[in-house]
Amino acid sequence: MNMLTRESPSRGTGSPHVLGFYDKPTGSAQYLVWDPATKQAALIDVVQEFDPASASTRFDAAAWALEEIARRGLTLVWILDTHPHADHLMASDWLKQQTGVPNAIGEKVREIAKLWSAIYHAPFDPDTAFDRLLADGETLRLGELDLRVTLHPGHTLGSVSYVIGDAAFVHDTFMQPDVGTSRADFPGGSADQLYDSLQSILSLPPETRLFVGHDYGTSSRDVPEWESTVAQQRAQNAHIGGNVGREEYVHLRETRDATLPLPDRMLYALQINLRAGRLPDPEADGRSYLKIPANHF
C-alpha cells in the first residue's frame, strides 16, 4: 500500500516517537505514537475507508498500521479516537477485534450519542462500543510516558486531546498555521468553546509538537502537513495567531462556517462512529443497513 507518511522522532527522555500517515480522500491525519524506551504504542484516529457512492468499507489504513507495528517491533496498548468524526469512519472496533487491545474515547461521547440518537431516531450506547470513556484530566500510561486526556470542545461538545510528553494530538481544533482552525457548526459545536480550547492548547510549552486531525493543502502548498508547534501557532495561525480576541475569532469562525457544506460522509459516519466504527447489526438477509435522516439539515 502506498501510504503518505511522515515521522517526528523522539527528542529524548519523556518524548514519544510519532509516525503520521494520511488518508487522501478525507484529508485525515492518523497517528502511531510510541514510547521509545518500552516500544509500547497507541493508534490515534485511524480511518476506515468508505466509498459514499457504493456505501462500501475497507480497512486498508488500519491493516497497514498493524503491519507497521509488527515491522517496528512495537506493542499496541491503546486504540484511541479524539471524537466521533463527521468526515470519515473510524477503524476502532476493527482494530480491537484484530488485536484484543482496548479502545477509548472521551466520556462526553455519551452526550453526543444522545444528540445524534434524536437526529437518527435510533439508540446509540457508547458504553458498550468502547472499553474506556475517558474523563477530562485522566491519565493513561504509554510505557514510561503519561498520556493525559484534555477536554477540548468546540468542534464537537466532547472532543478530547491527548498530550504525551512534548507531543499533543489536538484533533479538529487547530489546522496548520497557514490554514487556521477547524469548523464549529456541527450539532453540539460552538465557536466560543473552540476559542477557549485553542487558548488552552496555546498555553502548552512553546516547543510542544502539535499534531492536527486534517490538512487539505492550500493554493500555494500541495503537500499535506500535520505537524506544527505551539510557538508557530501562536505567531502564525491564520485565524487566531497574534493574540486575536474572542469576539473577533467567533465572528470569523461563524461567518466562515456559514459558507461550508456538510461533509459528504457525515450522515453515514456518525451512526457508525458512535458504534466505534462498527456497522449496524446485520438484518435477516445478513446485510447491514444505514439510516439517513431526510431534510434534517
Q: How confident is the model at residue 191 (pLDDT cuts 50, 70, 90)?
A: very high
- What's at 98, amino acid-wise? Q
- Across the strands, what pairs with 75? 40
pLDDT greater than 80 at residue 106: yes
The stretch 209-224 carries a mean pLDDT of 95
CB 250 within 8 A of CB 225: no
- Given pLDDT bands bounded at 50, 70 and 90, which one contains residue 2? confident
154 sits in the region (left: phi over 0; alpha: psi -120 to 50; else beta) called: left
The pLDDT mean for the chain works out to 97
- Label residue 1 by pLDDT band (50, 70, 90): confident
pLDDT attached to residue 247: 98
pLDDT tens across 159-175, in order? 999 999 999 999 999 99
Q: pTM to 2 decimals?
A: 0.98
pLDDT at 132: 98
Assigned CATH class of 5-273: alpha beta
Per-residue H/E/C for 100-148 = CCCEEEECCHHHHHHHHHHHHCCCCCHHHHCCEEECCCCEEEECCEEEE
Domain boundaries defined on the chain:
5-273
Mean per-residue pLDDT for 260-265? 95
